[in-house]
Structures are given as structure tokens and as C-alpha cells.
Structure 1
């Protein structure tokens, strides 16, 4: 079995050397940890699918250190692309462009004539890409379908023995993956909500951005990750709980024979009568902290304190709440706790 080394953020040159050799190295971003391989090395890219157990028609994001690196593969940024790059790169925004014919392997694009590009805020990762001299593919560094990793330890749990190394730069900041916007069509469209919100995109572009493009059909190849297959799901069944339904959800939990997990805001935990068989995870004070902690909480009840049921708090699907609920709904398979109506 391969030995997976954890590189400190001062050892970025060693991580870059592994990428040059065609090895896989997990890397930090401001959103989640990604799984990196030379995007121009088809064999290395194919090994990413194997390491993750990921369907090969699910395209990979191309992660770059600069707009200039991305321009080598893209036909034209266009006015919308240039505006979004100016305002949000580096940052948690991925942009889908038409690419130059033959510039990237179908292993990267899923056989499409488009590819998704991202320039992360994390300086350590940008330095690694710069030293490697090539863009890298960057799907989340977890087993396919499982909650995304927000620490190097999460990556090690899923990828030990499967990849050469993990570049450790501490916990991520945002906690959910980047917003993905399709610029390969006439009207900009959000394919996956994330840290950059609909309002921010429309303010920059001055036009309406489509925001209901998150799913594709069973036989359709998605333009971006997270649109087709089950994502972010722990072993336990997740039930989404509306604020008003917590009393009944906890009453239901008390009647279960096994432990039930409760992922809720601090105020909810403080003001609830929590049964003895319910274990809790504090999601913090607000939506921002809850988004940051979502994947960590799901992983906690997968790896550290296994349960069969997870009750998780919900938010309005607007602003950052759209990104939070997008991930939570996928983790839950769209299952909500249904309170009984008297």
C-alpha cells in the first residue's frame, strides 16, 4: 500500500514535485480540500477517479494559479467571464467556459467541449500549482458521495494509502465548495450554489443570472460536479428539521432505541429539552458558522460517533443559505422531518 505523507505548508515544493511526477496530492482551499493531479497528464487524472471511486462522466474542476494559466485552455473569457474574474478570483468561484479543441483530455472534461476553472484564494495551493507549472484537477478529496473534507485529517481518513500526499494548511474557512457558474451559454447560470451568492453575481454582471440549473438527467453528462450523483452523504440517514419542528423531532428521537444525532445552532441546543439518547453537534451562532461546520459535523457522526439518524437544522434558501441547503438536501436525499399535525 502507498504511504500517504502529510506535507506542512512550508513543504509546498515537495508537494509540487509529486504533482510533476504524476502523483496525487490533496491540497487546501478556502472552501474544502481538493484532490490534485496534473490536469495535462491523462493517466494521473484517471487515477483521481479511481482514488475517489468517482463516475468517469462527472467532470473535474481545473484549478489554476492565475487567469493567464486558465487562458491557455479557454477559447475566450468573454465580458462576463472577465468581470467575474476581476471581482472574485482568487476566491470561491468556479467558471465554466468553452475550451480550445483538444486542449484538455476527455478524462478532465467528461467528454464535453467545456471545462470548469477555479483560482483558489489559498496562497499555499496557488504556490504549489505555480511550482508544478501545470494546472491541476481539483475535485474534493473524499471518497465519492461522502461528506467533503475540511481538514487534512478528513482527507487522510478517506485517502490513506491511495494518494502520495496531503498538503496541510489547517481547517478551511468557507466549509462548502465553490459556486459554479456556466458561462458557456448565452445567459450566465449557477450550476452549483456556494460562497459567492446570486446577488453578488448579479451585482457584478448587471444581468439576471439563472439559479435553478442544479440537476441533470440520468443519461446526461453534467457540466460540473454535484449535479447528478448522490453527494455529501454520511452512512446515517439525515433528516432536515425546520426551526418550528425541533420539539417534535426531539420527541421522535426520544422514542428511538438507538442514539440519534442533533446538528443545530447554539441557541437551539441551549433552549431545547434534549433526550438522553440524543448526541449533539454545535453548528455555531448563525448560517455562516453552520455552513463552515456542516461537513465536519456529518463526518463526526460517520467516523467518531456513529449513529443511524442525524437531525440537522435548516435555513432559508437565499444567499449563503442556498449553498448550505443544496449540500444538506443532497446529504439527506431531500428527506425532511415531518412533524405530525394535530
Structure 2
């Protein structure tokens, strides 16, 4: 299969949208840009298309897929009901990086929902993507467009690296804005439960009700209640260890690896930390410690960097759990296989 690449800036975009819609209606797969990461799209109401998505990604079939819609009006066709709190969240954050888990109607096949009686739905912010979804005439099932377990792609080039020859087409909308997948929540019990943190933070959600973080986020062995909760994700080729906590202690620990000669280390760290490392070290800086937005935006490209610049092990510097930090540390926890080490002044 030859994978087409179609840019949203193409002067013939309106015509290309019709072609891309036909691919989906015929059971094919199209990778598409959003404000978060690139998704791997298929007809979310077609069981065979969902099976193709799992096969292309090498993704376990009990890991649910998110349905993408072009507007709120499309949701009622897919779900049993919409609560007042869910409506408030849609009004506040759609189009945007918030995914809501609803009880599904039978029209949504089990192959799409991972066998669950619920379905996760969001309306992406990128206008060109919503135009394409509307043209398709069906909700688009769309996990991240990468081989399962690898870092999520934030450019069309990264999608092509993993998916060339596996899918029909890639919509190239340039680099994504946020760089982390959407926040996933449930709002069924009168409160907001975060299943996966993302660009819509806990602090932002708290304006609309009581918020709690699902305990399953801390466990690698639970049954997934929503997409992205189970299995090791985002992992670079080399093993990653992430250090958090007291800044001075973290710096001392990371610098100690630069003195070791047992293996080649790579460093996934802040600008401040990078400035302390030897000039010949293999370093990817995710930005200033004060900018979690920059860190989130560069997170996946940083993890992919070490696949192109091979090392034996990656030493990472984490961030706090406030704001976007909750989402960033969630991704780093999964990328490291839960190998997060907290450094504190009490260790001195």
C-alpha cells in the first residue's frame, strides 16, 4: 500500500477532503492532525476499520479507541444520554483537548470501545480536521498514529516513519500545538474524574465541579476504563529513568552519570540542567523549568530524539505535578516503565 501525504495548506484542500472522506467510508485508514498529537483514523462505527487500526498500531484490542466528532450535535447519536455536567464541559472545552467518557449506544461496536459499555468522545480544535470528519459522515476512531508503545507523533514526518505502507493517507497539518494527548474524564457521578491528564488541567476543570484523579493512573496492571490508561506507552528504545524532587539534589544525581564510563548516557533535561552537563554529552533540552507548556510541547519529540541518537540509557529530569505537570509526569511515568526516582533533602 502506498501512503499518500496531503497537506491542509494544499490549494485543492476542499477537493482532497472529499477524497479522504471516501477512504474512510470505504474502510481505509487516514492519519490526521489535531491540536494534541496526530491520530490514526478509521470509521468508528465499522468493526473491521477498528480492527485495522489495532493491527496497524500493534495495539492490544482491549485498549479503547477515542471517537472524534466535528460538533456537539453528533454526540447524541452515539451515547445513551448527556448529563448537565457533561454538557457544561462540552460547552467550555469543545472544540479542544478534552475527551469525555459516556455510556455508549449499540451503534458503537465493541471493537471500537475495547469491549467496554462506554465510549470516549472528543471534538478536536483544528478546523481542517473537523471539516474532514464532517465530510466522512461518521465519527472517526483515532488513537495516536504511532506503533503501540512508542512516543506519540507530533508531526506528519513522525507518522510516516511508523505508518508508511500501513495506512492509506496522512493529512499533514504541520506540527501540533500542545504535544500531549487530550485529557480524558468521566462526569457521571456528579464529579469530574480524570482518567488521563492532558492539556485541560485539573485546575481548569475545577471551575466546573469537584475533581479527582482516578487511582488507576498509578497502577500498570488495571483494566483500562478509558484510552491510554493501560500498558507501557511513549517509550524510547533506550531505558529511561526520571528524577524529580529537590532541584539541587536532582542536579547532583544527574551530573553523577556524566562521570560514569560504564555506558553511553543520554540526557532529557531542562535548559538549566543541560548547561551543567559536559559539552560532548548527548542532550535533548525540553526547555526552561518555568515553562511546563514548552516541556509538554517538546516531550514526545525529545523521546524520539534518542531513537535517532542511540544511547544505552536515558537520564531524565521531571517536573512538579501542578498544572500541565500532572500530564507530563503521567507520560514520563509510562515512558520509563514507572521508573521515577524522587530526590529529597532528607536523602543528604
Q: What secondary structure sits across from 1:191 in the alignment?
A: strand
After superposition, give the CA deviation of every residue in 1:172-202 in whole Å (9 maximum; x if it has no partner).
0101100000134453210000000111111
Distance 2:321 2:237 in 1: 25
**1:104 corresponding residue in structure 2:** 108
TM-score scaled by structure 1?
Answer: 0.93
Residues 219/265 of structure 1: CA separation in 2 closer, same or farther (3 Å cut): closer
Q: Match of 2:152?
A: 148
Partner of residue 115 from structure 1, selected from 119, 138, 151: 119
Equivalences for residues 260-299 of structure 1 within 5 A: 260-270=265-275, 272-274=276-278, 276=280, 278-285=281-288, 286-299=291-304
Three-state SS of the structure 1 residue aligned to 2:160 is helix
Does the C-alpha gap of structure 1 residues 114 and 273 become closer, same or farther in structure 2, counting only changes over 3 Å? closer
8 Å CA contact retained: 2:70, 2:134: yes
Give unmatched runs, 5+ long, in structure 1: none
Per-residue deviation, 1:269:
1.8
Please give the residue correspondences for 1:136-285 in structure 2 after superposition, counting only pairs within 5 Å.
136-203=140-207, 205=208, 207-215=209-217, 221-242=223-244, 243-244=247-248, 245-270=250-275, 272-274=276-278, 276=280, 278-285=281-288
> Counterpart of 1:200 in 2: which secondary structure?
helix
CA distance in 2, matches of 1:6, 1:23: 14
1:129 corresponding residue in structure 2: 133
1:33-80 C-alpha deviation (Å, 9 max, x unpaired) = 000001111111110000001111111100100111111111221111
Partner of 1:65: 70
What corresponds to 1:83 in structure 2?
Answer: 88
Question: What TM-score do you get using the length of structure 2 for normalisation?
Answer: 0.91
Distance in 2, Cα, partners of 1:240 & 1:318: 17
Question: Which moves more between the two structures, 243-252 or 27-36?
Answer: 243-252
Secondary structure (helix, strand or coil) at the match of 2:177 reads coil
Q: Is the 8 A contact 1:114 1:184 kept in 2?
A: no
Which secondary structure state, in structure 1, belongs to the residue aligned with residue 321 of structure 2? coil
**SS of 2:257's equivalent?**
helix
Is 116-125 or 328-337 further displaced after alignment?
328-337
Shift of 1:213: 3.5
| Alpha-carbon distance, 1:214 to partner | 3.7
Closer/same/farther in 2, CA of residues 154 and 213 from structure 1, 3 Å limit: same
Q: Counterparts of 1:337 and 1:78 in 2: how far apart (Å)?
A: 40
- 1:135 deviates by 0.5
Aligned to 1:8: 7
CA contact (8 A) 2:257 2:265 kept: no
8 Å contact kept, 1:115–1:223: no
Instruction: Report if the CA contact (8 A) 2:65-2:227 is conserved.
Output: yes
Answer whether contact 1:12 1:167 (CA < 8 A) is retained: no
Shift of 1:338: 7.1
CA distance in 1, matches of 2:197, 2:253: 30
Q: 1:253 touches 1:275 (CA, 8 Å); kept in 2?
A: no
Q: Deviation of residue 258 (structure 1)? A: 3.5
Residue 311 of structure 1 corresponds to 315
CA distance in 2, matches of 1:178, 1:290: 16
